[in-house]
Amino acid sequence: MKKSLFFLLLSPLSLLAQPDSTKTEAPKKTHWYDHISVRGYMQVRYNRLLETNPKFKNEQGDKSIGEGGGIFIRRMRLIFFGQIHERVYFYVQPDLASAVNSTTQNFMQMRDAYVDVGFDKKNEFRIRLGQSKVPFGFENMQSSQNRMPLDRTDAINSALANERDLGAFFYWAPDKIRKRFSQLVADGLKGSGDYGVVALGVFNGQTANKPELNNQLHAVARIAYPLKIGRQIVEPSIQGYTGNFVMPADMVNTGVKLRGDKTYLDKRVGASIVVYPQPFGFQAEYNIGTGPRFNASKDSIVSSDISGGYAMISYCLKYKNQAFFPFVRVQEYSGGKKQEMDARSYSTNGLETEAGIEWQPVKCFELTVQYTIGDRKYEDYKTKNNTQAGQFLRLQAQVNF
């Protein structure tokens, strides 16, 4: 009896000692570094198998093509990114294997350094500040990590060296479409990423990692929408930019005649259509405009018309856990390249053709084999009447991490 009374007296105390299952724990404090992630990729190439003309080169794209080229690290990217606040996102991407020219390689150079500031909780309206891709052209927006052909085309990529510049860009897209843009990349369908349904912006106009030279900004606008038609997604877009480009003194040979202020109208308008490979894919872009171009008969840089584009067919074949992407692309271009010496003049003789296949045995590794057939004329002050035709087989291994 005494023992039962003793336990009866202790029972309220024991209840107090038990943890309160209804009590909520205080949320854990997060730190800035909890919101930062790191990813990247590396590409290693060799371009000289079955080569027919070592003088056929591509200064704009892969500087290891042709004589003097060997095994080459095309890209070694590290990407630091994170949503550090519900309305603030940051993205920094250096390249640890930039080629300054055909003889100076593997320098670190900034590619992207920007922040996105959202105006609403879903960040459907946002502004991007810093150095980033200028919203012009689908393949310019598409990461080289996702592109099937090894290089971008002359016609679209000649608009902007490294596709980037310092600027401020406004993007808008509904939350549903933002998720669709992201899913096209996540599902391995070679998407471009989220550059909005509507994009408006201003940028320096001298291209990435170059100082502004005329205190006048370029303006750009783009509209794109990924339409879902059955199980297929079709993405049309239209874009354009305008501004004044100043030829840098170190990019002009002595003896070349220039306009007094070295300034040239730099404008383009283009259209794109993308049918994502499910399993058949199609992609085409074309742009026209005006820009600086070397004129060999006058030894001068003049304003000249620009035109060109490409078309590509592709296929996505899934086998067990592997993926194969065969593709064929043709391209043409006539115009100058403002980012090259003397605004080098280019013209393709007929259509240049690239055919290849990308193999993904696992998500973190890809192997691409591509055969290129080209015939083009490119001239600057020191190299006139320079027409080169050639064919070669290219190999690339890519690691994603």
Of the given ranges (22-26, 242-246, 356-360), which has the lowest mean pLDDT? 22-26
Does the pLDDT at position 13 exceed 50? Answer: no
Helix boundaries (H) for 26-172: 138-141, 154-157
- Residue 245 is predicted with a pLDDT of 98
Q: What is the pLDDT of residue 61?
A: 84
| pLDDT-derived band at 105, boundaries 50, 70, 90 | confident
pLDDT tops 90 at residue 151: yes
β-strands 198-203, 322-336 pairing:
unpaired
Q: Would you state the pLDDT for residue 103? A: 66
Helices (H), 2-133: 2-17
Mean pLDDT of 102-110: 82
Alpha-carbon gap, residue 204 to 213, rounded angstroms: 9
Whether residue 375 is predicted with pLDDT greater than 90 in this model: the reply is yes
Coil/strand/helix, residue 180: helix
Per-residue pLDDT at 358: 98
Model confidence at 16: pLDDT above 70:
no
Report the pLDDT averaged over residues 350-378. Answer: 97
pLDDT of residue 158: 96
The pLDDT value given to residue 5:
38
Are 154 and 140 a contacting pair, CB within 8 Å?
Answer: no
Least confident span in 15-19, 87-91, 121-125, 322-326? 15-19
Q: What is the predicted pLDDT for the residue at 101?
A: 63
For the ranges 19-23, 37-41, 44-48, the lowest mean pLDDT is seen at: 19-23
Cα(169)–Cα(22) distance, integer angstroms: 49
List 266's β-bridge partners, or say none: 243
Please report which confidence band the pLDDT of residue 2 belongs to, taking 50, 70 and 90 as the band edges. Answer: very low
Helix (H) or strand (E) holding 176: helix 175-186
Q: What pLDDT is attached to residue 10?
A: 41
pLDDT digits (tens, 9 = 90+) for 43-95: 999 999 999 999 999 888 898 999 999 999 999 999 999 999 999 999 999 99
Determine the pLDDT at residue 26.
Answer: 65
Residue in the structure block whose two tokens are 């080459």: 72
Domain ranges of the chain: 34-400
pLDDT at residue 148 tops 90: yes
What six digits make up the tokens of 60? Answer: 């704009």
Residue 141 dihedral angles phi and psi, to the nearest 5°: -75, -35
| pLDDT recorded at residue 58 | 87
The pLDDT confidence band at residue 9, using thresholds 50, 70 and 90, is very low
Q: What are the beta bridge partners of residue 375?
A: 389
Phi, psi of 277, deg, nearest 5: -70, 95
What is the predicted pLDDT for the residue at 167? 98
Neighbours of 9 (CB within 10 A): 9
pLDDT at 8: 37
Evaluate whether the domain defined by 34-400 bears CATH number 2.40.160.10: yes
| Mean pLDDT (whole number) for 26-46 | 87
Would you say residue 285 has pLDDT above 90?
yes
Cβ atoms within 10 Å, residue 224: 23
Banded model confidence at residue 24, pLDDT cuts 50, 70, 90: low
Mean pLDDT for the chain?
A: 92
In this predicted structure, what is the pLDDT of residue 371? 98
The string of pLDDT tens digits covering residues 212-270 is 999 999 999 999 999 999 989 999 999 999 999 999 999 999 999 999 999 999 999 99
